[in-house]
Copies of this chain bind each other. A is one copy, B any other.
Amino acid sequence: MSNPILEWMQENIGKSMGEGAPSPVGRWLNGTLRDAQEGALVADFVVRPEMTNPVGLLHGGMIATIMDDFIGATIIALGRDGFYTTIDLSVDYFASASEGEVVTAKTRLVKAGQRVIHGECDLFNAEGRLLARGRTNLLRVQVRE
């Protein structure tokens, strides 16, 4: 089952999100979309110098930002009315990536309820090693008539 937003993403696989990502942060992260299915997106990101910590590794907060933003894009790609706000976001870190490396983010929506959505995102390096795993709970914003 598709929708206009998801279809647009699928047509843009292989292109950078530097202009098309839904959020300014997403455009700044400038990832390249690799796959788009309902509830599951994949993109690559280059670790740029401004994304690093004091010892030249991809910054933990930046990993959280990639995950939060890309799960957000996954929800937008459901094509639903309305907007979801983040209740919480958490990330566990297993291994590092260095400046210049390419990392791959894969999202999945574990529970896509109407009120509450629970999403996860895994981050891998080019060798397929799991660098970090994150999860987030989001709540549908109520619109008052």
Contact = CB atoms under 8 A, between A and B. Distances in A.
Contacts of A96: 85
A110 B91 contact: no
This protein's copies in its complex: 4
A2 interface: no
A55 B68 contact: no
Interface in A28-75: 28, 49-55, 59-62, 64-69, 72
A106 interface: no
Contact of A62 (B65, B91, B136): B65
A135 to B, nearest CB: 6
Contacts of A85: 93, 96
A136 B96 CA distance: 17
Interface residues of A, number: 49
Contact of A110 (B28, B133, B142): B133
Contacts of A54: 22-23, 72, 76
11 contacts: A23-B53, A25-B62, A59-B65, A60-B89, A61-B61, A61-B64, A61-B67, A87-B88, A89-B93, A92-B110, A137-B137
Interface of A: 22-25, 27-28, 49-55, 59-62, 64-69, 72, 76, 83, 85-94, 96, 110-111, 115-116, 118, 130, 133, 135-137, 139, 142
